[in-house]
Amino acid sequence: MKNRTRVSSAALLLFALAAHVHAATDEGSVTGAVTDTAGQPVNNATVIVQDASGAAVGEAKTNAEGRFVIAHVTPGTYAVVVTATGFASGNNITTTGTGTQSAVSVSLAKSGTLDVQVNAKRLDRARNGLSPETGSSVYRFSQADIDALPAGQDTPLNQVLLQAPGVASDSYGQLHVRGDHANLQYRINGIIIPEPISGFGQALDTRIIDQVNLLTGALPAQYGYRTAGVVDIRTKTGEAGNGGSIDVFGGSHQTLKTSADVFGTQGPFSYYFSGSLGVNNLGIENPTASANAVHDHTRQGDAFGYMSYIINPLTRVSLMFGTTSNQFEIPNTPGLQTNFTLNGNSTFDSSQLNETQSELNNFAVVALQGTNGGALDYQVALFTRYTRTQFNPDPVGDLLFNGVASQDFHSNSANGAQVDTTWRLNDKHTIRAGLFFQQEHAVFDDSVNVFATDADGNQLSDQPFNIHDSSSKTGYLYSAYVQDEWKITSKLTLNYGLRYDKMDEYVSASQLSPRIGLVYALTPTTTVHAGYARYFTPPAFELLSGSTISRFNGTTNQSPSSQNDPVQPERSHYFDLGVTQRLGSNVTIGVDAYYKKSTNLLDEGQFGSALIFTPFNYQYGRVYGLEFTANYKQDNVSAYLNLAYSRAQGKQIDSAQFNFDPDELAYINSHWVYLDHDQRVTASFGGTYDLGRTTFTFDGLVGSGLRSGFANTDRLPVYAQINLGVIQHFNQPLVGKFDARLLVVNAFNRVYELRDGSGIGVGAPQYGPHFAVYAGITKHF
**DSSP secondary structure of 271-308:** EEEEEEEEEES-SS--SSSSSS-BS--EEEEEEEEEEE
- Rounded to the nearest 10°, the torsion over CA 50, 56, 57, 58 is 100
pLDDT tops 70 at residue 25: no
Half-sphere exposure of 397 (CA within 13 A, CB side): 19
pLDDT tops 90 at residue 96: no
Confidence of residue 116 (pLDDT cuts 50, 70, 90): low
Of 6-20, 266-280, 440-454, 613-627, least confident by mean pLDDT is: 6-20
The per-residue pLDDT for range 158-188, each reduced to its tens digit, is 999 999 999 998 888 888 999 998 889 999 9
**Per-residue confidence (pLDDT) for residue 10, from 0 to 100:** 42
Phi, psi of 659 (to 5 degrees): -80, -10
Closest CA to 403 of 395, 413, 415: 395
Give dist(CA 546, CA 309) in Å, integer.
Answer: 44
Going by the DSSP 8-state scheme, the letter that residue 620 receives in this structure is E
Q: Which residues contact 733 (CB under 8 A, 6 or more apart)?
A: none
Q: Which residues contact 584 (CB under 8 A, 6 or more apart)?
A: none
Half-sphere exposure of 119 (CA within 13 A, CB side): 22
Domain 28-110 matches domain 141-238+257-286+297-780 at the CATH topology level: no
Closest CA to 175 of 159, 191, 186: 159
Please list the residues that pair with 304 across neighbouring strands.
Answer: 274, 322
Half-sphere exposure of 774 (CA within 13 A, CB side): 26
pLDDT tops 90 at residue 338: yes
Confidence of residue 197 (pLDDT cuts 50, 70, 90): confident
| Mean pLDDT score of the chain | 89
Confidence of residue 118 (pLDDT cuts 50, 70, 90): low
Measured in whole angstroms, how far is the alpha carbon of residue 524 from the centre of its chain?
A: 32
Closest CA to 707 of 659, 660, 756: 756
Of 116-125, 331-340, 491-500, 562-571, least confident by mean pLDDT is: 116-125
What DSSP string runs through 138-204?
EEEEEHHHHHTSTTGGGS-HHHHHTTSTTEEE-GGG-EEETT-SS-EEEEETTEEEPPPS-SS---S
- Three-state DSSP at 408 gives strand
**Per-residue confidence (pLDDT) for residue 122, from 0 to 100:** 65
Confidence of residue 369 (pLDDT cuts 50, 70, 90): very high
Domain at 28-110, CATH from 2.60.120.260, 3.40.190.10, 1.20.1070.10, 2.60.40.1120: 2.60.40.1120
**Per-residue confidence (pLDDT) for residue 54, from 0 to 100:** 74
| Mean pLDDT, residues 753-757 | 92
Q: In degrees, to the nearest 5, what angle opens at C-alpha 714 toward C-alphas 710 and 717? A: 140
Give dist(CA 550, CA 563) in Å, integer.
Answer: 10
pLDDT tops 50 at residue 14: no
Please list the residues that pair with 386 across neighbouring strands.
Answer: 362, 413
The per-residue pLDDT for range 688-715, each reduced to its tens digit, is 999 999 999 999 999 999 999 999 999 9
Q: What is the pTM of this model?
A: 0.83
Give dist(CA 88, CA 107) in Å, integer.
Answer: 10
Phi, psi of 309 (to 5 degrees): -135, 120
Closest CA to 304 of 265, 259, 269, 264: 259
Confidence of residue 75 (pLDDT cuts 50, 70, 90): confident
Q: Which CATH class is domain 141-238+257-286+297-780?
A: mainly beta
% of the chain at pLDDT higher than 90: 71
| More reliable by pLDDT, 92 or 197 | 92
The per-residue pLDDT for range 200-240, each reduced to its tens digit, is 557 889 999 999 999 999 999 999 999 999 999 999 998 87
**Per-residue confidence (pLDDT) for residue 111, from 0 to 100:** 60
Closest CA to 253 of 173, 329, 349: 329
Give dist(CA 176, CA 184) in Å, integer.
Answer: 9
Of 82-91, 169-178, 255-264, least confident by mean pLDDT is: 82-91
**Per-residue confidence (pLDDT) for residue 198, from 0 to 100:** 65
The per-residue pLDDT for range 26-71, each reduced to its tens digit, is 688 899 999 987 788 999 899 998 887 778 888 999 998 899 999 8
Phi, psi of 505 (to 5 degrees): -125, -125
482, 539, 593 from 181: Cα distances, Å: 28, 11, 19
Closest CA to 433 of 220, 120, 138: 220
pLDDT tops 50 at residue 23: no
What DSSP string runs through 119-140?
HHHHHHHHHHTTS--TTSEEEE
% of the chain at pLDDT higher than 70: 94
Give dist(CA 242, CA 461) in Å, integer.
Answer: 68
Give dist(CA 611, CA 329) in Å, integer.
Answer: 11
Phi, psi of 398 (to 5 degrees): -65, -35
pLDDT tops 70 at residue 777: yes
Confidence of residue 8 (pLDDT cuts 50, 70, 90): very low
- Domain positions in the chain are 28-110, 141-238+257-286+297-780
For 221-249, the three-class secondary structure string (H helix, E strand, C coil) is CCCCCCCCEEEEEEECCCCCCCEEEEEEE
Closest CA to 609 of 460, 445, 448: 448
Confidence of residue 22 (pLDDT cuts 50, 70, 90): very low
